[in-house]
Amino acid sequence: TMTTLHTLSGALAISSLTLLLALSQTACGGSYGGPASARADSNAPAEWSAIAVKTVLDASAVTPGGVSPMEESRTYAMAFSAAHDALNAIDRRYKPYMSDLQAPGANADAAVASAVSTVLKANLPSQAAALDAAYTAALARLPDGRAKAAGVTLGQQTAQAILAARAGDGSANAQ
């Protein structure tokens, strides 16, 4: 039934996100605060992982037939690839995926919030209002200044790069 399908899809989302969270924790050395962060205990990848799951589940509730597992996994992959490239531009630890940028003074929390929210809004436009509210709240916790502005710009750049790269990937015709 459709309820079973949504439950399975939600379970898949939770298990996928658990893996993404574990990978983000490993890749980010636990908390990815760094010197430009507002709080040392901040963990934007984990926060935005939870927001991503809620966004997909909320989008499924208002989308006839729900969000397909393929669309769901594609959205997560795009959002967190953009976040990876943003964090990697701030503190180069790994090979970039799509965006080979350098922004060592950018705020990591602002970059992650910007990258993930930009991709989620593009892929799940029915959730734009909720995403705008989460994004505004995340940025409000950060001190204003050059680091925050640089993080916002960086996240937008990495998100736009992944969105452009995936625009013609054939996923719209996938079954």
pTM, two decimals, is 0.78
Confidence of residue 59 (pLDDT cuts 50, 70, 90): very high
- Quote the pLDDT of residue 174: 65
Report H helices in 28-145: 44-62, 69-90, 108-123, 128-140
Residue 174's identity, in one-letter code, is A
Residues shown for the chain: 175
Two structure tokens written together for 154:
């960086």
**What CA–CA distance (Å, rounded) separates 89 from 83?**
10
**What CA–CA distance (Å, rounded) separates 110 from 144?**
10
**Per-residue pLDDT reduced to its tens digit, 4-41:** 444 444 544 444 444 444 444 434 444 444 444 333 34
